[in-house]
Amino acid sequence: MTVEPPGAFPEASEATRAPGSRLWLFRAEDLLLALWIALAAPLLATHGSFELLETGRPLDGVVLLASVGAALLALIGHPRDDDGNWAPLGAWIGPLTGGALLVAFTGFSALGAPDPWTTPIAIAALAGVGALRLALGPLSAPARRALVTPFILVSGSLFWSVIDAVVGPAGTSTISAQELRDAIANGTPGAGMFALVLVAFTGVYYAMLVYAPRQVAEKEGSPPAWLIRYALFLASVLFGLGWINAFGL
């Protein structure tokens, strides 16, 4: 049992805990994301939901922007560490910022918000999140994890819409999904390069929109554990491609 020194900021030991101090390999978020990417996201993509920078879908816009706001609340709800430092981002600030901007811009596009209104709306949203932070105080690790999960799921749907546009049933790629699966199974030279590009793109997405926000919510997991989690994510992408193409949806 850990005893906090008198006057310590709540959860200070949590904020400074080193990666890999947890023993488990998969967490609930990993399994939820895998199921979402393998089953739900393909169905949403085939019905035109959560498409990248698409206009005229106000419900999608509200969901996307709300998920960004929740993720920001998780970020600013992070407690200070023993040295008084707030929200230790480290190297994740770049990927996290890029991912949040991508989802936010897509949300504004879906709402059809005029460009002159985008900045004032964003500033007002940030002010509202800041006010909530002052009202609520530091958030626990489970609360922060819950707040970033919707952001991860909806950004996963955006990711899938891009994949579906390339290798889905109506994709524009000259390499079919079957050839892609053959490349992975048999090392087909032509499609093999395409498979490498897909893996690289998937890795960039995972770093920006899964790994970075989850590290901000709670810094945990060893590098081998995160590689295995990423492999589960990639397997769910391939599984989704397989069944969605098999049924021609």
Q: Look at residue 239 in the predicted model and tell me its pLDDT.
A: 86
Residue 221 has pLDDT above 80, yes or no: yes
Query: For residue 157, which of 98, 203, 106, 198 has the smallest C-alpha distance?
Result: 106
Instruction: Tell me the pLDDT band of 77, cut-offs 50, 70 and 90.
Output: confident
Phi, psi (deg, nearest 5) at residue 64: -65, -50
Q: Look at residue 20 in the predicted model and tell me its pLDDT.
A: 40
Query: For residue 218, which of 24, 64, 36, 7 has the smallest C-alpha distance?
Result: 24
Cα three-residue angle 143-146-151, rounded to 5 degrees: 135
Instruction: Tell me the pLDDT band of 15, cut-offs 50, 70 and 90.
Output: very low
If one compares 124 and 249, the residue with the highest pLDDT of the two is 124
Q: Look at residue 8 in the predicted model and tell me its pLDDT.
A: 35
Instruction: Tell me the pLDDT band of 115, cut-offs 50, 70 and 90.
Output: low
Query: For residue 96, which of 123, 121, 122, 75 has the smallest C-alpha distance?
Result: 75
Q: Look at residue 174 in the predicted model and tell me its pLDDT.
A: 46
Q: Look at residue 177 in the predicted model and tell me its pLDDT.
A: 54
**DSSP letter (8 states) at residue 86:** B
- Cβ atoms of 242 and 163 closer than 8 Å: no
24, two tokens = 């488990």
Q: What is the pTM of this model?
A: 0.74
Q: Look at residue 46 in the predicted model and tell me its pLDDT.
A: 72
Q: Look at residue 146 in the predicted model and tell me its pLDDT.
A: 93
Instruction: Round the average pLDDT of the chain to a whole number and report it.
Output: 74
Instruction: Tell me the pLDDT band of 130, cut-offs 50, 70 and 90.
Output: low
Tens of pLDDT, residue by residue over 181-217, are 565 566 555 556 666 777 788 888 898 889 988 988 8
Q: Look at residue 19 in the predicted model and tell me its pLDDT.
A: 42
Residue 136 has pLDDT above 80, yes or no: no
Q: Look at residue 98 in the predicted model and tell me its pLDDT.
A: 81
Q: Look at residue 229 in the predicted model and tell me its pLDDT.
A: 94
Q: Look at residue 29 in the predicted model and tell me its pLDDT.
A: 92
Q: Which of 110-124, 132-146, 150-164 has the lowest mean pLDDT?
A: 110-124
120, two tokens = 């004032």
Q: Look at residue 150 in the predicted model and tell me its pLDDT.
A: 94
